[in-house]
Structure formats: structure tokens, C-alpha cells
Structure 1
Amino acid sequence: MSKNVSMITFGCKLNQAETQAMADKLNCIGYNITFDEKNGKNDIYVINTCTVTSEAERKIRQLIRRIKRKNNYVKVIAVGCYVHTDAEKLKDIGADLVLGNLEKKFIDKYINDSGVILNKSYWLKNQDKIITPEKSFDDRTRIFIPIEEGCLNACSYCRIIFSRGTSIRSLPINKVLKAISNYIDLGYKELVLTGINLNQFGFDNAETLTELLEKIEENFGEDDIRIRLTSMYPEYVDKKMVEIIFNSKIFEKHVHLSIQHFSNKILNLMGRKYDKNKIIEAIELFRERDKFFSITSDIIVGFPYEEDEDFQELLNSIKDMKILKVHGFRFSARPGTKASKMENQVLGNIKKDRIETLNLNSKNISEDYRKELIGKEVTILSEKIDDNYIYGYDEYYIHHKCDFKNINPVKNKFYRVKIQDISDEGVSSYVL
């Protein structure tokens, strides 16, 4: 009898892509795949973990305990980044099998094992490879394509280098193109390129992200698809890259920039390789071509030495730059990082107040940005349809609740629409 496996993901888009790839492997050897923790028929839970914040780790531990309390006989497999920082803890609280970031890529070989299987420095022995999912198992219209792993930056607050490595591994351009072609054949309309630091793609094989974008346009520029870029770093954005994006009809008018802060003092303490002016320069390169070009970003508040004026500069800059959406985090002192040993740690209550202020301000900034779009014609990809509305995202990565008349809408199809108002998280529109 086939066993039911529930796949649960914490963390970044790269983790989401790797969860899909693991699901592929398990499905190929006879396992039924779900993504529902509450399904009482699950025999195995695979939890793809994150170690970016202590809060993420707390939620992972809480989930493992909750699953085991409900049914101690189900098998819990913890995989990924948290494993590299505290594998034994995960085993002690109930994980039956613990796999590192190399081992999870071969989960089909380890599925019947137990205990901890972990090569902590797997990236140094050339055993690693980028794995791409064959398909999405959760009925989405988009698919995430991992093209890069590893990071050379060693920021003072980050543990990702401990779990993803200090050497770059890239999916060669020819393999990226092959993957895109396969996904188009399978009917996917939105393809999202992801990695730990997308701009460091090709550092291991003399290829570049700009070269990849050129090849994607050359091969698929006339296809009925959309390409989205994530995990971009401001210091790598240049005019040539921007020109490729804007001279193409398939690249979205949106990027996710890893900004973290706008205060030069804090950016320097974080060990980031850019300053405030470089962030502004990168955003303005996009906005010169389209004033509505949307930016989403990760932001950390409460970093050591962050004072009121630094925080206010952050808020002012997010407003000035009209950031569409902020993924805000309270600074979390991660063991083994330089930032955890810094003096002038910000008190917990101050960090709490600042993240609440950031979230409120960001919500208002997003609303103001979306109000400026009222009356604009855009293109949405239909992801969900009910009796009254089409739901989906446009090329600016804005969610639509779209009214339709005199058509029979189809899922996974592009529709030209007009924005008529804003909603809580996006906009309302109607099909033209």
C-alpha cells in the first residue's frame, strides 16, 4: 500500500523549490504527496527547515512536537538548514530522520533510514548539485526554478553560509534553458528564478546572470510566459541587466531586492557590500524606465547599535522608495555570528515596537503605491476562479480580485484588466 507523505516548508523560495524536487523523487518511488499538515491520513511528514531566525526554529520545534503528540507512530523527517546548526536537538524532540542540505536532495535513498545523516561541509567536496523540480504538486500556476546555491558575502548576522556553504554552485545556462523549456511544455505560465544570492549565479563557471537573462529572452521571448527574479542584491544591478528586462515582454516589472536596511552605519555593521546610495541607484535604474516598477524587500529592525535616528531613516527611505511590500524581521542573534557578539544589543521591547511600527508604515506605503495604479491597464495570470472573480497576480506582483463579464474564465491564462480600486492586500479590477 502506498504511503502518504506531507511536505511542509519553512523559509525561502529556494526551500520551496527543493521541497517540490523532493516531492518528485518520493512520488516516483510510489509515495502519495500532500502539503497538508492536518491530513490525519499522513504516514510521513517531511519538514524542510530554516535557520534564518530563532522564531523560525521555534516554530519548527513546535510543529515536530505537535505532530508527535497527535500520533507518535508517524515518521517525522527534518531536512535542510536548521539541521546544519542543531541536528541533535531536532532528533531529541522527535524527528525520526534528520537530513542535511546535501542528503535531502537524495531523500528517496534515505526515506527508510533513521537517525542523523549529515555532511556539514558538503559544498567543499563537489558532491552537491542543483536539483530542479519536475512539476508542482500543489496545483499552482507558477514554479520556482533553483539556479544558484551558496553565498560569498558572510554577513555578520547570517548563518546561511553554515548551512548552504561558502562556495557558489550554479545550474549551467544550458540546463536552466532546458528546465524552462520543460516547464513551458508542462503548461506553466510563471517561472521564478531563485537562489541564495541570484546575482552570484555563474561565479563558479564563468557564466553570468546577465548572460542567462539574454539567453532566456533569445529562446523564449515570444512565448506566452512570465519570468520573475528573486533574491537580487542592489550592488549587482546595472544598466545592461535593466535594459534586458525592459526590452523583453516576458520579464516581470518587479524584483525582490535583499536590502536589509537603509542606514549606512547599520549596513556597514551588517557587513553588506553596498550603501544607501547604491540601493537608491539600483531602484532608480528600474524606475527610470517605469515609475511603477515594484520592489519588494527583506528588512531587519533592531540590529545592534540601531538608534532611533537609524530606524527613522529606514522608515523614511522605504516611503521615499515606495517599496511595495516589506518582509520585516526583528534582529535575531544567531549563535556563531559576529553580530551575536556585538555590544549595544537592542532590547526586546524596543525591537517589538519597531517591527510593529515598520509593519504599519509599510502597509500604508503599499496602499499609497497601489492607489497610484488605479485606472492602469495590466495583465494578470489567473490562479483561482470562483463564480464571481478571477484571482491572480499582475506583472508588478500585485494581487488582483478581478471581476469578469461575458467570458468563461480559464485558470492559468493571461487576462488584460483595468485596476479600479485597492483591497486589503492588493487591488480590485475588471477584465477588459
Structure 2
Amino acid sequence: MELQNNVLSPEEQELLRRAIFSQKQTMRAFVHSYGCQLNVSDGERIRGILESLGYTMTSSWDDADLILLNTCAVRESAEDRVYGILGNIKQYKRKNPDLIVVLCGCMASEEHTASYVKSHYPYVNIVFGTGSLNRFPALLLEHFQGTKFACDTGEYDDVYDGIAPSREHPFKAAVPIMFGCNNFCTYCIVPYVRGRERSRKPQQILEEVRQLVQSGYREIMLLGQNVNSYGKDLETPVSFAWLLRQVEAIPGDFVIRFLSSHPKDATKELLDTILDSKKIGHHLHLPVQCGSDAVLKRMNRHYTIAQYLEIVEYLRRRDPGFSLTTDLIVGFPDETEADFQGTLDLIRRVQYDNLYTFIYSKRRGTKAAEMEDHTPPEEKKKRMERLLSLQREIASAHYQRFLGKTMRVLVEGESKRKGYLMGKDNAFIIAEFPGDPSLIGQFVTITVTETHNWAVEGVLVQEETTCRK
């Protein structure tokens, strides 16, 4: 297989393959991706590159000839964990001096990382950033030609197009539609490590989705740091709502999901597109971060709670059971008790199905890291406990709206409970029910018989009936 979208000529590609297999007939690569789903998608492309070069994937670094860590930089604790792992890898390098160690991803895109790794972990052979994914083969060739530390943390280009991913899941696929972020929230490092927003061309996205559906994929997850901004930077601008309608028009039985949405760009056109769709999941993950306008301003989020609630109220007017989830940060610098009460009030008003919650942690390189913070850590922990307790109470009551109703569920796998399967419905609600593993990867219909504060239970319906949208 010839590498595409690659900076190597065909002759250099052949030279690289000969170098890889000069000592062993089988070369094994261990690839591990940390962090968000976009990172996981990058990892699938990296696996695709390595397989096209002849590497066999392994799930253990014990027998690996190449170890690649695709890193996350959202929190400093994530970086510390990676540095700890790099320290442990040293023992494998001693046992196998020819072992190739690669560090890539968001962490590798930070200015200080390459020099720090070179000086503190001299056995790391290759470092490349999120903008250099398609140049990975060239860096490998440099290594085999004698470069002790091959590094490329340059600017982004069309790093995905033409690189076939090696997908880890047989019926669920993630399709990145854009990269980078223009929002510069004061707590977030992403714009600094993934750059400004860049949209992939619609025809490339649609062709990728079309091939996936033809291959039997049942769930398509469209990814971006802020998918709602998709298409604004294209030569001929389009909207994300337009792209969703084009994806829905592709023939086949599949569900469309997407992450992540920014409230400031959640237009009525987008909301109507979701509500009127039969394939787009009737669920919106709409990160609010907190319930205080004062804190939102310090976060640089560009919306107010009133504007956020307008979106929620519009969705619930048209579909009272519409599923909403969100991200919340507890303890942002100098969050007051009144600010926190605003968050609790918002949770009561919106009635979220699920929350993804975080206690604020300082991130070097962001503006929030320079802000004064007089709230003690113990107080932040107590606030988090109060928030989670309230959410459990709300979700327990809110999930009862599903009792006795039918759901169309994509079966994802076996539950932890023996004899049970689990999956998600159109609105991303987790469902568990008795069933045979042969149903995994298929759509089934269940009747909900019991609800919890995180999921529902049900029984299979023999024949599909009209389901809740």
C-alpha cells in the first residue's frame, strides 16, 4: 500500500520500508492515545500510517519495536502522567536498544516540550505536534538515517486528508470535521496546541462518511473543538447545520452524533436541523461551564446565562423530553458562593440528563492561571459534592419520563451484569436489557421498565414499533 498525503517520494517510502524491516520480519507498534475523542481519532490515523508501512499493532509495549504516546495537554496532571510513563519506558529501551520511542499530540505541540524531552529523556527518538501528523513517515526515515532526535512541531496543514485510519471500533466511527479553536477561553490550552479553526472540505467529510456507512458503520460521530463554527473559514462558507443535512442525506441506517458545541454558535438553524431530523441524535451536549455571568465573563465564554437558557427553552418547547448534557467547572478562580448557587439553580432549571464535572485546576500557559484565587481547595471539593448530590436527585426524577416508552437502541456491547447488553438510544441515553451478544452492533427496540439516575433498563420488543425521537 502506498502512503498518501505524505512528504516522502515513492522511492523514499520504499527506502523507509526496507529500513524498518532490515533486522526483523515482523515489526510491532504500540500506539496509545490519551484525552479527547479527537486525540483518539488522531491515533487511528497514526495506526493507519504505521500499518501502511508494514507494522503490526500490539496491545502491549512489552513486545513492541515502536512505542508511540499520543498525548493530551488539557491538564498539567495529564502531562505529569506522560512524563512518568516516559521514565518507565527507559527500562524497555535498555532491553531493546533499537526500540523507537515517539511522543506526539497536544503536549508535543507546546513550545517547551521538545527541548525538555530532548534534555531529560534522551532515549526518545521522535517528537511531532498535532500539525505534523502527515510528516510522521519522514521523521521515521530521518531516524533510520541516523538522526538521534527527529522533531517537527510545525504549523497545521491538511494533515488528515488521504490518510486512511485503522479504526478500533467495528460499527462506531469518529469523523473529524475541523481542527483548532478561535475562542480562547481563559482556562483552556487547546487554541495554543491545536491552532486556529480550520474546516475540512465538505466533499472530503461526506466521502468518508459515505464509505463508513457502506461498510456497515451504525454511528457516525462528527468531531471538532467547536463543531458549531464549522465552515466559516472555507473559501465558500457553509454552516454546520448545512453539513448535518448533507450527512443525513447519505443513504443508510445510521445515527449521527457530534461533539462539541459552543453555546454562542448554537443557531436556530442548527437547533431546527436537529429537531427535524430522523438520523441526528436528539441530544445536545452544550457545555455551559458555570451558572454565573460574572464567572462566564472571566472565562471569556461570550454568552450569558439568559442567552444559554433561550437555547434550552427553544429545544424544550419543541421537544419537552429533549436530552441535554453539559460540562461544568467548579471552583474557577474566585468563584463565590453566590456564583456557585447560580450553577445549582441552572442545573435545577435545565434538568440535565448527565453532567461532566471538573474541579478547576490551574493550567500553565492560560490566562486563568494568572488570576488570583482565594477559595480554599476544601471548599471547592464541598461544592462539587453538593453539585453531584443535586444532579443525582434531579436525574433520578428526570429519567422517569422514559418509563413505559420504547427506545431504539444501538447495541454497543455486553453489560457488566451477566446476560445483559448495553447501548445508547437516539438521545444518547444509556440502556441495559437482557439479550444475546449476537445483537451487538445492531439497532433493537426496547420498552423501558425501570429508570436510574444514569441509565434505563428495559426488555426487548419482538418487532420494532414507532420510537421516541
TM over 0.5: yes
Residues of 2 paired with 1:356 and 1:61: CA distance? 31
Which is worse superposed, 350-359 or 190-199? 350-359
**Gap regions ≥5 residues in structure 1:** none
Superposition TM-score, scaled by structure 2 size: 0.83
Contact 1:401 1:427 in 2 (8 A): yes
Residues of 1 paired with 2:459 and 2:165: CA distance? 31
Structure 1 residue 385: deviation in Å? 4.5
Q: Any idea what the Cα deviations from partners look like across 1:12-70, whole Å, max 9, x if unmatched?
A: 22111111111111111111224x4x563233222211111122222222333334346
Contact 2:47 2:165 in 1 (8 A): no
- Quote the residue 1:47 is aligned against: 69
Give 3-state SS (helix, strand or coil) of 1:163's partner: helix
Match of 2:425 among 391, 394, 397: 394
Which is worse superposed, 4-13 or 169-178? 4-13
- Quote the residue 1:89 is aligned against: 116
Contact 2:395 2:453 in 1 (8 A): no
Residues of 1 paired with 2:61 and 2:373: CA distance? 46
Residues of 1 paired with 2:335 and 2:66: CA distance? 44
**Gap regions ≥5 residues in structure 2:** 1-24, 462-469
Q: Does 2:227 match 1:198?
A: yes
Q: Any idea what the Cα deviations from partners look like across 1:325-354, whole Å, max 9, x if unmatched?
A: 222122222223221111235333333333
Give 3-state SS (helix, strand or coil) of 2:423's partner: strand
- Quote the residue 1:154 is aligned against: 184
Contact 1:4 1:41 in 2 (8 A): yes
- Quote the residue 1:115 is aligned against: 149
Give 3-state SS (helix, strand or coil) of 1:295's partner: strand
Q: Does 2:392 match 1:367?
A: no
Structure 1 residue 358: deviation in Å? 3.3
Query: What is the one-letter code of the residue matched to 1:115?
Result: F
Structure 1 residue 84: deviation in Å? 2.1
Residues of 1 paired with 2:382 and 2:80: CA distance? 21
- Number of residue equivalences: 421
Give 3-state SS (helix, strand or coil) of 1:102's partner: helix
Residues of 2 paired with 1:181 and 1:19: CA distance? 21
Query: What is the one-letter code of the residue matched to 2:74?
Result: V
Cα root mean square deviation, aligned? 2.4
- Quote the residue 2:242 is aligned against: 211
Match of 1:80 among 105, 118, 121: 105
Matches within 5 A, 1:28-427: 28-34=52-58, 36=59, 38=60, 40-69=62-91, 72=94, 73=96, 74-85=99-110, 86-87=112-113, 88-91=115-118, 92-93=120-121, 95-111=124-140, 113=143, 115=149, 117-120=151-154, 122-123=155-156, 127-131=157-161, 134=164, 137-166=167-196, 168-205=197-234, 206-217=237-248, 219-220=249-250, 223-385=252-414, 388-404=419-435, 409-422=438-451, 425-427=454-456
Query: What is the one-letter code of the residue matched to 1:119?
Result: T
Contact 2:291 2:345 in 1 (8 A): no
Give 3-state SS (helix, strand or coil) of 1:232's partner: coil
Residues of 1 paired with 2:428 and 2:163: CA distance? 23
Residues of 2 paired with 1:324 and 1:267: CA distance? 22
Structure 1 residue 402: deviation in Å? 1.6
Residues of 2 paired with 1:195 and 1:345: CA distance? 34
Residues of 2 paired with 1:282 and 1:133: CA distance? 37
Relative distance call for 1:68 and 1:369 in structure 2 (3 A) is farther
Greater Cα radius of gyration, structure 1 or 2: 2
Contact 2:48 2:163 in 1 (8 A): yes
Contact 1:130 1:148 in 2 (8 A): no
As a proportion of its length, which structure holds more strand?
1
Contact 2:180 2:191 in 1 (8 A): yes
Identity between Structure 1 and Structure 2 (%): 27
Contact 2:133 2:159 in 1 (8 A): no
Which is worse superposed, 333-342 or 347-356? 347-356
Residues of 2 paired with 1:155 and 1:360: CA distance? 28
Relative distance call for 1:274 and 1:414 in structure 2 (3 A) is same
Residues of 1 paired with 2:186 and 2:303: CA distance? 14
Contact 1:130 1:170 in 2 (8 A): no
- Quote the residue 1:11 is aligned against: 35
Contact 1:230 1:257 in 2 (8 A): no
Contact 1:303 1:345 in 2 (8 A): no
Structure 1 residue 146: deviation in Å? 0.4
Relative distance call for 1:139 and 1:155 in structure 2 (3 A) is closer
Relative distance call for 1:202 and 1:68 in structure 2 (3 A) is same
